[in-house]
A and B are shown apart, each in its own frame.
Chain A
Amino acid sequence: MEDKLLLVDDEEGIRNVLRISLADLGYTVFTAADGKEALTIFKEEQPDIVLTDIKMPGIDGVELLRRIKHENPETEVIMITGHGDMDLAVQSLKNDATDFITKPINDDILEISVQKAREKILVREKLRAYTANLEALLREKSALQDRLSSLGLRISSISHGIKGLLTGLDGGMYLVDGGLKKNDSDQIREGWTIVKEMVDRIRKMVLDILFYARERELKPETIDVHSFCQEVAQGVGQKLKERGIEFHQDLSGATGSFRVDPGYLRTALINIIENAADACQKKEDLAAPKVVFRAAEENGEILFEIADNGIGMDEEAREKIFELFFSSKGSQGTGLGLYISQKVVGQHGGSIRVRSQPGRGSRFFLKVPRSGPEEGESAAPA
């Protein structure tokens, strides 16, 4: 884009000559015959450079300079002076004029003067860009710092869990080793049970972390609600029974089909059902630990309900359970399960609610619309 220049002189002859010279230098030239016209054009065109005669009827050059500087202090104003305008020239200087050229105007001097004004503008623009860059850099740096420190926090909370699991694994192996040395099959069995449990837990944690780190798009399929629920219930129900927990399912209201990413939604549900089982096992002297899994139609959406009669949660825990790396299970939890569940349900356009009281079990409600996620909705966690 060509730079705009405003030329102000009450003499038409001078305007015409200078206009041609300035256009030759590559400027888009606007002209005005007096200060008033000049101000109107200045406001409309916002030229970077103004070249003005100092002696004009009405608003004179110095007054015009003052008003232009008031309007936009970064405008470069070059004054055209005649002989004996010394006082006015000094006043112009005080008002931050860029330069003077004297009549009669020499083309070379004009070019040098305008070029100087141009350079001043360029330097200022560069300075502004540097400053902006610097600010952006600072902002980026502090954002990066934030990310790093929160990452550090995440790693430390997860590393405590991992250390606990590894210690447990060491313990199991130590017992197996000792049992083998002493030929004590009871101790070998005991150690081996621990090894298996630790490996299971480590596997779960690693898979959770991988799930959290994975970036892939949801792959929605239209599937039968009832058979989806049954599949979820079958897998997880068996596991719960092995842990001595009663598992009830009520899928009679789960009819028709819905559009979901079955793998992801299954993970979301299983995370919650396994939490329910953990909550039962944490409650001491619980005579009949029980987890109920219900699915039914509600207002055109599928409502999943997972209820347990375990330890329940206080308000503080209820508020935090969906946060990344929050876990109420100490070294046994990764703080990823419910975070992932909520993420997945959210991506399906649904929601999770929880009702719970300490000592009185928990109920999780997952609503998932039948229409499911938008095609290509990113499954990447934020």
Chain B
Amino acid sequence: MPKKILIIDDDPIVVKYLQAVFSDNGYDTCTANSSSEGLEVVRKEKPDLITLDLQMPDEWGPRFYRKLRKDKEHRDIPVIVVSGIDGDHAIQSAVAFVRKPFDPEKLVGIVKNTIG
């Protein structure tokens, strides 16, 4: 069964882009356009990995991350930050920090190293 990646980003075009990149490389995807929706999708879809934007309206990525870490069942899901913000300390235990605009092959490489 293919591994599933949750994409959290408020920009629908970026979401579509990441979806295409991941599905072209054999992954399933699910999406959320906000932090709060992200948590719902995590519980419903139980993804194997999450890509997270930092700057989003209402709740920013770091807050999603804190909430995720408090959720016992899902706290160990690896998170890759994909953001245009220069600040890789916002989420220290992220698997990787990928700056927008990103190289899709590099991103896929990180994903493969993390979840195979």
Interface residues of A (CB under 8 A from B): 156, 159-160, 163-164, 166-172, 174-175, 178, 187, 190, 194, 197-198, 330-331
Could you say which of B8-16, B34-42, B44-52, B63-71 contacts chain A? B8-16
Complex Cα gap A331–B17 (Å): 16
Assess whether B11 is in contact with A164, with CB atoms less than 8 Å apart: yes
Instruction: Provide the residues of chain B in CB contact with A198, threshold 8 Å.
Output: 13
Could you tell me if A156 and B86 are in contact, using CB atoms closer than 8 angstroms?
Answer: yes
B85 touches A170 (CB 8 A): no
30 example contacts (A-B, Cβ-Cβ < 8 A) are as follows A156-B86, A160-B55, A160-B84, A163-B99, A163-B100, A164-B11, A164-B100, A166-B100, A166-B101, A167-B100, A167-B102, A169-B101, A170-B101, A170-B102, A170-B104, A171-B14, A171-B16, A171-B17, A171-B20, A172-B13, A172-B17, A174-B20, A174-B104, A175-B20, A178-B20, A187-B20, A194-B16, A197-B13, A330-B11, A330-B57
Given A160-B84, A163-B100, A174-B21: A168 touches B57 (CB 8 Å cut-off): no
Query: Which of these, B24, B84, B86, contacts A331 with CB under 8 Å?
Result: B84
- Name the residue on A nearest B102 (C-beta): A167
Tell me which residues across on chain A come within 8 A of B21, comparing CB atoms: 174
Q: Which residues of A contact B17 (CB under 8 A)?
A: 167-168, 170-172, 174-175
Query: Which residues of chain A are within 8 angstroms of B101 by Cβ–Cβ distance?
Result: 163, 166-167, 169-170
CB distance from A371 to the nearest CB of B (A): 43
A residues less than 8 Å from B55 (CB atoms):
160, 330-331
- Tell me, rounded to whole Å, the shortest Cβ–Cβ distance linking A92 to chain B: 70
Q: Which residues of A contact B16 (CB under 8 A)?
A: 171, 175, 190, 194
Q: Given the complex, which residues of B lie within 8 Å of A174, measured CB to CB?
A: 17, 20-21, 104
Say whether A160 contacts B85, CB under 8 Å. yes
A170-B101, A171-B14, A172-B13 are known contacts. Are A164 and B20 too (CB-CB below 8 A)?
Answer: no
Tell me whether chain A's interface is mostly helix, strand or loop, or mixed.
helix
* Cross-chain contact B13 with A171 (CB below 8 angstroms): yes
Expressed in whole angstroms, the Cα–Cα distance for A126 and B65 within the complex equals 63
- Give A197 to B104 CA distance when docked, in angstroms: 21
- Say whether B100 contacts A194, CB under 8 Å: no
20 further A-B contacts with Cβ under 8 Å, apart from A164-B100, A168-B13, A174-B20, are A163-B84, A163-B99, A163-B101, A164-B84, A166-B100, A167-B11, A167-B13, A167-B101, A168-B14, A169-B101, A171-B14, A175-B20, A187-B20, A190-B16, A194-B16, A197-B13, A198-B13, A330-B55, A330-B57, A331-B84
Task: Flag if A168 contacts B84 (CB, 8 Å).
Answer: no
Q: How close is A177's CB to chain B, nearest CB, in angstroms? A: 10
- Chain B residue contacts of A187, Cβ below 8 A: 20
Q: State the 9 A-B residue pairs at the shortest beta-carbon distance, nearest first.
A: A171-B17, A163-B84, A167-B100, A166-B101, A168-B13, A167-B101, A163-B100, A160-B84, A170-B101
Report which B residues bind A (CB closer than 8 A): 10-11, 13-14, 16-18, 20-21, 24, 55-57, 84-86, 99-102, 104
B11 adjacent to A168 (CB under 8 Å):
yes
Return A199 CB to nearest CB of chain B, in Å.
12
Given A170-B17, A171-B17, A331-B11, is A178 in contact with B57 using a C-beta cutoff of 8 Å? no
Q: How far is the CB of A73 from chain B (nearest CB, A)?
A: 57
Minimum CB–CB distance for A155 against chain B, Å: 11
List, in ascending order, chain B residues with CB within 8 A of A175's CB.
16-17, 20
User: In the complex, what distance in Å separates the CA atom of A197 from the CA atom of B99?
Assistant: 22
User: B66: shortest Cβ distance to chain A, in Å?
Assistant: 22
Q: Report the minimum CB–CB distance from A29 to chain B (whole Å).
A: 71
Identify the closest chain B residue to A329 (Cβ). Answer: B57
Complex interface: chain B residues within 8 A of A167 (CB): 11, 13-14, 17, 84, 100-102
Cβ contacts under 8 Å, B100 to chain A: 163-164, 166-167
A253 to B115, CA, bound (A): 66
Cβ-closest chain B residue relative to A160: B84
- Point out the residues of chain A lying under 8 angstroms from B18, CB to CB: 171
State how many angstroms separate the Cβ of A56 from the closest Cβ of chain B: 78
Collect the chain B residues with CB atoms within 8 Å of residue A159's CB: 84
- The docked-state distance in angstroms from the alpha carbon of A190 to that of B19 is 13
Q: How far is the CA of A174 from the CA of B56 in the complex (A)?
A: 23
Chain A residue at minimal CB-CB distance from B21: A174
Chain A residues near B56 (CB-CB < 8 A): 330
* Chain A positions within 8 Å of B11 at CB level: 164, 167-168, 330-331
Distance of A172 Cα from B84 Cα, bound (Å): 17
Q: What residues of chain A lie closer than 8 Å to B13, measured between beta carbons? A: 167-168, 171-172, 194, 197-198
Residues of chain B lying within 8 A (CB to CB) of residue A194: 13, 16
- Cα separation A11 to B43 with both chains bound (whole Å): 110
